[in-house]
Amino acid sequence: MASGEVFDTKTKSLSVPRVNLLTMFRLGLFQMGLSMMSILTLGVLNRVMIQEIAIPATLVSVVLALPLFVAPSRIWFGQISDAKPLLGYHRTAYVWVGAAIFAIAAFLAVQVMWQMNLAGNSTGTWVWTTQTIGWTALLALVFAVYGLGICASGTAFAALLVDISEEDNRSKVVGVVWSMLMVGIIVGAIISASLLKQLTPEATVETLQPAINRLFTIVPAIVFGLAIAATFGVEKKYSQYSTRSTLANREDSITLGNAWKILTASPQTGIFFTFLLVMTISLFMQDPILEPYAGQVFKMPLAESTKLNIFYGTGLLIAYGVTGFFIVPRLGKRRTARFGCMLVAFCAILLGISGFTANAAVLKLGLVLFGLATGFLTTAAISLMLDLTAAEAAGTFIGAWGLAQSLSRGIAVVIGGTVLDIGRNLLPSLELAYGLVFVLEAVGMVLSIWFLNRVNITEFQTSTKQAIASVLESDLD
């Protein structure tokens, strides 16, 4: 591969129109679908399993975290999508196949959950038997497959965003695409609440079953359709002009071994990986306990607690729209992320205090503010993430960052459920037990600022470019 050919191709790409706003919103449909699926698993199933079925919160959190613990597959999926096209596409087909897998697995998980209930609550209270252990293992397997589908589609999609965007417009792409993720949270919460609205706080599992089965049939089908609509034709139209596509014989140039050399070329990769890990753990520790918190402390019915995601999503949607276009361009990505960390810590404390008021309005206000803070932080962090991604191995880097985020979300879910169980056993009230989770979130956010201050984008880019040049030169020898 001659260097002049790459330069000519890059120069030519400057005359190609950038991704327009309509395409950004269309791409956001995929993120919208992912957030709708998240509402189903962490917004409905966690409450049903912890409160209605009375499965121990620690076990529920471990099972729900399994889709996140299969995150090491993201690096493999990313490298494969870099190197091996599927059905003629490096990204699109992986998005579609992954979406089909996680949509089917979500429906199957619910059916296994009902069998767990029959096996574990035959005496009126949850008990461990050979049957419950078997059904729990099967549920864990289904959730792991669900996670693999998310990893395949999500990694390919994020790599597609790198392919079609440039550094100077990336925060806008992130702002638009991730704002649709928040639309998905709101839409998912509305759909879930409408399909479950006839259920009262005293509803039995037998009453819940047909409504939840219907919910897990309709929403996954919608999400699969959104994945197709979001990405159809985008890669063919825009990716041919990206830096990634200028590499000749790229299937042979960036092997898994070479991709690993590039990935580990800069110490900054490890520093940013750690920042993502700590930040995301602190950001999502409340995920498995929020709906049970609303049910047990605020006495909300299932449909009402599911609608809490509307308040959280509204805050996020506002923040995503404002941050990418106005705040990041003025404050910069690092300062915006630091500001977001401090805001999240404050809002986590506010959510913990709201339990002592037993006032649902205070909880809802806290969730709006928490959503705003999360939006500031994640827009800046994702923009930093895309800057710390080499275009020639975009899938591999996105896989690494996705690994950090997924592992930390999985750890966060387990920590949230486990700390809640510990708090309920050791502390005198439910308010204190739930409040302990929110306090730990705030402490983690302060710690994440320490790692963020040590991230150096210039050093990363210099080290990675040298590694890429070395890999490509060795292939030519």
Dist. CA 189–CA 256, nearest whole Å: 40
Dist. CA 242–CA 13, nearest whole Å: 7
87, with CB counted inside 10 A (0-12, 13-18, 19+), is exposed
**Distances in whole angstroms, Cα of residue 405 to Cα of each of 79, 195, 274:** 17, 31, 10
CA-based nearest residue to 162, from 285, 245, 251: 245
- Give me the tens of pLDDT residue by residue for the chain, a chain 477 residues long: 333 333 333 433 444 446 667 777 788 888 888 888 887 776 778 777 877 777 777 788 888 888 878 877 877 787 777 777 777 777 888 889 999 999 999 999 889 888 887 776 665 566 777 877 888 889 889 999 999 999 888 888 887 877 776 666 666 776 677 677 777 777 877 877 777 766 555 667 677 788 888 888 988 999 999 999 888 877 777 654 444 444 434 444 445 566 566 666 677 777 888 888 888 899 888 887 888 888 888 888 877 877 787 888 788 778 877 876 778 778 888 888 899 999 999 999 999 999 898 888 999 999 999 999 988 888 888 778 777 766 666 666 766 666 677 778 778 888 988 898 899 889 888 899 999 999 999 999 999 999 988 887 777 767 766 766 665 565 545
Which residues make beta-bridge pairs with 86?
Answer: 89
The model's pTM is 0.65
Torsion sign over Cα 403, 404, 409, 410: positive
250, with CB counted inside 10 A (0-12, 13-18, 19+), is middle
Q: Please give the pLDDT value at position 391.
A: 62
